[in-house]
Chains A and B, each alone.
Chain A
Amino acid sequence: MRVAVPVFPGSNCDHDALHACGTVMGWDTIPVWHQETRLPENTELVFVPGGFSYGDYLRCGAIAALAPIMADVKRHADNGGLVLGVCNGFQILCEAQLLPGALLRNESLRFIHANVHLRVERADLPFTRAMKAGEVFQVPIAHAEGNFTLDPADLADLEARGGVAFRYCSPAGEIGEDHVPNGAMNGIAGIVNVQGNVLGMMPHPERAVDPRLGPTGGLGMFRSLAEAFSRA
């Protein structure tokens, strides 16, 4: 299993991604500088990490979406390769039009860091196959722009095709505005493309995988990926 982690100026969760995929999961995990034009050969998963790529200039993720490496990330995605974007990585995937929607400033205007609960809406994806639909897991968030937005018609399409992978919820799995930390429409925390190979999410599963560092709610996603690859 080979994982590529694109690194942009201002990425700051690249090491979390390298730690989760490399140290914890034992996958062959390679950081790739944004100026590179090719992903390492036989890359199976591209993990677009969080941070503040290019200082969030213009719009979060807008400049990173144009970085040279992103052309090859798009090619990888078009060929069915897996792409996971977390936090700023999610914003980058939206700006690169690999995923629909945009992440606006949190409703509160504040940077939020907290442990939140997510409900699995899709358990049939390579990212979630070891989890169950309706399962609740706890992962941290840390963002100022996580307010997922889409125009009403596209939002209805996204919901109708099952494009929502994760929703914010209560510890018991209840959905509702009270449990949405950032104002995201329909409580959306993570979405997936039509083909099911590109997933973006604001919460950080890669920060919840090592028992030495705290809760391990993110492991379900990494176990899912391990399972997906062992069967590939």
Chain B
Amino acid sequence: MKVRVSVQLKPGILDPQGKAVEQGLHGFGFDVEHVRIGRLIDMDVPGTDPAEVKAKALAMCEKLLVNPVMEKASIEVL
């Protein structure tokens, strides 16, 4: 099954990249705030049970994909 893990910096963690992009957008006249940059990880996970596949993705997040000091993730089974 196709799984999408999206990893975001936790609220409160400074995101200099997001800030720089926000300033860039301001430069083009866009009125935006709180721009945060994250990461999307798409993968194929063997299995047919969405709950089981999601549990596997969660284990992957805990082991490697997410650093809990600064990041949080949401998992979507597509």
Contacts and interface: CB of A to CB of B under 8 A. Distances in A.
B40 interface: no
A158 to B, nearest CB: 12
A149 B69 contact: yes
Interface string B1-26: 00000000010111011001000000
B16 A58 contact: no
Interface residues of A, number: 21
Contact of A104 (B12, B13, B65): B13
11 contacts: A58-B64, A95-B67, A102-B67, A104-B14, A105-B16, A108-B16, A109-B17, A147-B16, A149-B13, A151-B69, A154-B69
A62 B16 contact: no
B69 A100 contact: yes
A149 B68 CA distance: 12
Contact of B16 (A59, A109, A151): A109
Interface residues of B, number: 12
Given A101-B69, A151-B69, 18 more contacts: A58-B64, A58-B65, A62-B67, A95-B67, A100-B69, A102-B69, A104-B13, A104-B16, A104-B70, A105-B16, A105-B17, A106-B16, A108-B16, A109-B20, A147-B16, A149-B14, A149-B70, A183-B16
Interface in A72-100: 94-95, 100
